[in-house]
Structure 1
Amino acid sequence: MKSFHNSVCVAALAAAIGLLAGPAHAQSNTAKASDKPDTGEIIVTAQKRAENVQNVPLAVSVLGASQLQAAGVRNFQDLGAVSPSLTIRPAEHPVNANVSLRGVGTFAFGIGVEPSVAVLVDEVPMAFQARAFTDLPDVERIEVLRGPQSTLYGKAASAGLINIITRGPSDTLKVRANATVTTDQEYAVNASVSGPISPTVGYVFSGAYSKWEGNVRNLFNGQKLNGREAGNFRAKLRWEPSSDAKLTLSLNYMNGNTNIGRPIIAQAAGALYRGTAGQTIDQVLPGVVVGPRNQNTSLNYTSRTKYQGGGGNIRGEFALGDHSLVTITSYDKFRLDDYFDSDETSSAAVGFNNIQVGTFKSTLFTQEVRLLSDGSKPFHYTVGAYYANVDFERPFYRGPAFSLANWNATSKSSQIAGFVQADWQFMPKATLTGGGRVQNEKIAYTFNDIQNGNARFNGSAEDTAATYRISARYEFTPRINAFVTYSTGYKGQTYDLTTGFNANRAAAGPIKPETSRDIEFGVRSQLFDRKVTLNVTYFDTSYKNLQAQSIETLADGTTNFRLTNVGKLGTHGFEIDAGYRPSSDFNFNTSLAILDAKYNDYPVAQCYPGQTAAQGCVAGTPSSQNLTGTRAVQAPQFKMSATAEYTPQIRDGLRGLAQVNVQHQSSVYYAARDPQTFQKGYEIVNLSLGIRDENRRWEVAAFVNNLFDQQYYPSLINSNASWGNAMTTQAVLPRDFRRYGGLRASLNF
Structure 2
Amino acid sequence: MNRPTLLVSALWLALAATAHAETAADASADANAEANELERIQVTATRSERAIGDVPNTVDVIDRERMETLLVRDLKDLFRYEPGISVGSSFGRFGLGDIRVRGLGGNRVRIQTDGIPVSDAFSIGSFSNANRNFVDLDTLKRVEVVRGPTSSLYGSDALGGVVSFITKDPSDYLEEGKDAYFGFKIGYDSSWDGLFGGATAAFGGERWSGLVAVSHRQGQETENQGEVGGTGSARTQPNPQDLDGRSVLAKLVLETSENQRFKLTVEGNEDDTDTDMLTSRGRQALTGAINDSVIARDHQSRARVSFGHEMDAIDAGFADRLDWQVYRQDSQTTQYTREIRSGLAPPTLRDMREREFDFDQRAYGLQANFGKDFSTGSAQHALSYGLDVSRTETRQKRDGLRTFLVTGATTPVMSPDVFPVRDFPISKTTTAALYVQDEISFADGAFRLIPAVRVDRYELKPQADNIFTEDNPGVALSDISETSVSPKLGAVWHFNEDWSLFGGYSRGFRSPPYNDVNIGFTNAAFGYTAIANPDLKPETSDGLEAGLRFSSAAAYASLSAYYNRYDDFIESMRFIGFNDDGLMVYQSQNIAEAKIYGLEWKAGLELGALSDKWNGWSLRGAAAWSRGEGRGPEEVEVSPGVVEERQVTRNLDTVDPLTATLGIAYDRENWGAELAGRFVGRKDRVSDSSLYQQAGYGVLDLYAHWAFAPGATVNMGVFNLADRKYSEAGDVPLVNGTSTLLDRYTSPGRNFAVSLSVNW
TM-score (norm 1): 0.80
- What corresponds to 1:6 in structure 2? 2
- What corresponds to 1:302 in structure 2? 295
| 1:445-471 deviation per Cα after TM superposition (whole angstroms, max 9, x unaligned) | 245447747565432110111010012
Whole-Å Cα distance in 2 between the matches of residues 617 and 706 of structure 1? 50
- What corresponds to 2:405 in structure 1? none
Contact 1:641 1:661 in 2 (8 A): yes
- Sort the Cα spacing of 1:79 and 1:457 in 2 relative to 1 into closer, same or farther, 3 A: farther
Contact 1:192 1:205 in 2 (8 A): yes
- What corresponds to 1:149 in structure 2? 150
Whole-Å Cα distance in 1 between the matches of residues 642 and 461 of structure 2? 34
Residue correspondence of structure 1 range 600-679 to structure 2 within 5 A: 601-604=631-634, 627-628=648-649, 630-648=650-668, 655-668=670-683, 672-673=687-688, 675-679=690-694
Whole-Å Cα distance in 1 between the matches of residues 183 and 158 of structure 2? 33
Which residue of 590, 609, 621 maps to 1:590? 621
- What corresponds to 1:704 in structure 2? 718
**Does 1:524 find its partner at 2:549?**
yes
- Sort the Cα spacing of 1:351 and 1:153 in 2 relative to 1 into closer, same or farther, 3 A: farther
Which segment drifts farther, 237-246 or 500-509? 500-509
**Does 1:425 find its partner at 2:441?**
yes
Contact 1:634 1:670 in 2 (8 A): no
- What corresponds to 1:610 in structure 2? none
- Sort the Cα spacing of 1:64 and 1:551 in 2 relative to 1 into closer, same or farther, 3 A: farther
Whole-Å Cα distance in 2 between the matches of residues 625 and 70 of structure 1? 52
- What corresponds to 2:458 in structure 1? 441
Residue 439 of structure 1: CA displacement? 1.2
Residue 89 of structure 1: CA displacement? 1.5
Residue 122 of structure 1: CA displacement? 1.8
Helix, strand or coil at the partner of 2:67: helix
Q: How many residues end up aligned between the 2 structures? A: 677
**Does 1:101 find its partner at 2:113?**
no
Contact 2:239 2:278 in 1 (8 A): no
- What corresponds to 2:182 in structure 1? 175
- What corresponds to 2:124 in structure 1? none
**Does 1:118 find its partner at 2:118?**
no
| 1:174-219 deviation per Cα after TM superposition (whole angstroms, max 9, x unaligned) | 33322211335210112212231x2111112111111121147775
Alignment RMSD, CA only?
4.2
Contact 2:214 2:246 in 1 (8 A): yes
Residue 566 of structure 1: CA displacement? 3.9
| 1:142-196 deviation per Cα after TM superposition (whole angstroms, max 9, x unaligned) | 1110001001111121110101112211233333322211335210112212231
- What corresponds to 2:67 in structure 1? 68
Helix, strand or coil at the partner of 2:560: strand
Residue correspondence of structure 1 range 429-508 to structure 2 within 5 A: 429-446=446-463, 448-449=467-468, 452=471, 457-495=476-514, 496=516, 500=521, 505-508=530-533
- Sort the Cα spacing of 1:683 and 1:272 in 2 relative to 1 into closer, same or farther, 3 A: farther
- Sort the Cα spacing of 1:533 and 1:505 in 2 relative to 1 into closer, same or farther, 3 A: same
Residue identity in the other structure for 2:754: L
Which residue of 411, 414, 433 maps to 2:427? 411
Whole-Å Cα distance in 2 between the matches of residues 681 and 39 of structure 1? 28
| 1:276-326 deviation per Cα after TM superposition (whole angstroms, max 9, x unaligned) | 77x8xxx76xxxxxxxxxxxxxx7222341022211212211232271111
Whole-Å Cα distance in 2 between the matches of residues 411 and 151 of structure 1? 25
Whole-Å Cα distance in 2 between the matches of residues 39 and 576 of structure 1? 13
Residue correspondence of structure 1 range 343-362 to structure 2 within 5 A: 349=344, 356-362=355-361
TM-score (norm 2): 0.79
**Does 1:236 find its partner at 2:251?**
yes
Residue identity in the other structure for 1:539: Y
- Sort the Cα spacing of 1:225 and 1:743 in 2 relative to 1 into closer, same or farther, 3 A: same
- Sort the Cα spacing of 1:75 and 1:552 in 2 relative to 1 into closer, same or farther, 3 A: farther
Whole-Å Cα distance in 2 between the matches of residues 636 and 422 of structure 1? 35
**Does 1:747 find its partner at 2:758?**
yes
Residue identity in the other structure for 2:303: G
- Sort the Cα spacing of 1:692 and 1:240 in 2 relative to 1 into closer, same or farther, 3 A: same
Contact 2:521 2:529 in 1 (8 A): no
| 1:566-598 deviation per Cα after TM superposition (whole angstroms, max 9, x unaligned) | 411101111112112345733432222111111
Whole-Å Cα distance in 2 between the matches of residues 457 and 444 of structure 1? 13
- What corresponds to 2:219 in structure 1? 212
**Does 1:578 find its partner at 2:603?**
yes
- Sort the Cα spacing of 1:506 and 1:732 in 2 relative to 1 into closer, same or farther, 3 A: farther
- Sort the Cα spacing of 1:200 and 1:596 in 2 relative to 1 into closer, same or farther, 3 A: same
Residue 56 of structure 1: CA displacement? 0.9
Helix, strand or coil at the partner of 1:433: strand
Contact 1:636 1:666 in 2 (8 A): no
Helix, strand or coil at the partner of 1:151: helix
Contact 1:313 1:331 in 2 (8 A): yes
**Does 1:193 find its partner at 2:182?**
no
Residue 727 of structure 1: CA displacement? 6.2
Contact 1:182 1:742 in 2 (8 A): yes
- Sort the Cα spacing of 1:476 and 1:631 in 2 relative to 1 into closer, same or farther, 3 A: same
Residue identity in the other structure for 1:191: A
| 1:723-749 deviation per Cα after TM superposition (whole angstroms, max 9, x unaligned) | xxx967577647x42322232212243
Contact 1:449 1:455 in 2 (8 A): no
- What corresponds to 1:320 in structure 2? 314
Residue 234 of structure 1: CA displacement? 0.3
Structure 2 stretches of 5 or more lacking a match?
A: 22-26, 122-130, 224-228, 403-412, 577-584, 609-614
**Does 1:332 find its partner at 2:362?**
no
- Sort the Cα spacing of 1:214 and 1:246 in 2 relative to 1 into closer, same or farther, 3 A: same
Residue 419 of structure 1: CA displacement? 0.6
Whole-Å Cα distance in 2 between the matches of residues 669 and 188 of structure 1? 39
Which segment drifts farther, 396-405 or 248-257? 396-405
Whole-Å Cα distance in 2 between the matches of residues 352 and 577 of structure 1? 58
> Based on CA coordinates, which of the two structures has the bigger radius of gyration?
2
Residue identity in the other structure for 1:103: G
- What corresponds to 1:716 in structure 2? 732
- Sort the Cα spacing of 1:100 and 1:28 in 2 relative to 1 into closer, same or farther, 3 A: farther
Whole-Å Cα distance in 2 between the matches of residues 561 and 212 of structure 1? 43
Whole-Å Cα distance in 1 between the matches of residues 689 and 741 of structure 2? 11
Whole-Å Cα distance in 2 between the matches of residues 405 and 148 of structure 1? 42
Whole-Å Cα distance in 2 between the matches of residues 470 and 430 of structure 1? 14
Residue 504 of structure 1: CA displacement? 6.0
Residue 402 of structure 1: CA displacement? 4.5
Percent identical across equivalent pairs?
A: 17
Whole-Å Cα distance in 2 between the matches of residues 459 and 512 of structure 1? 13
Contact 1:84 1:592 in 2 (8 A): yes
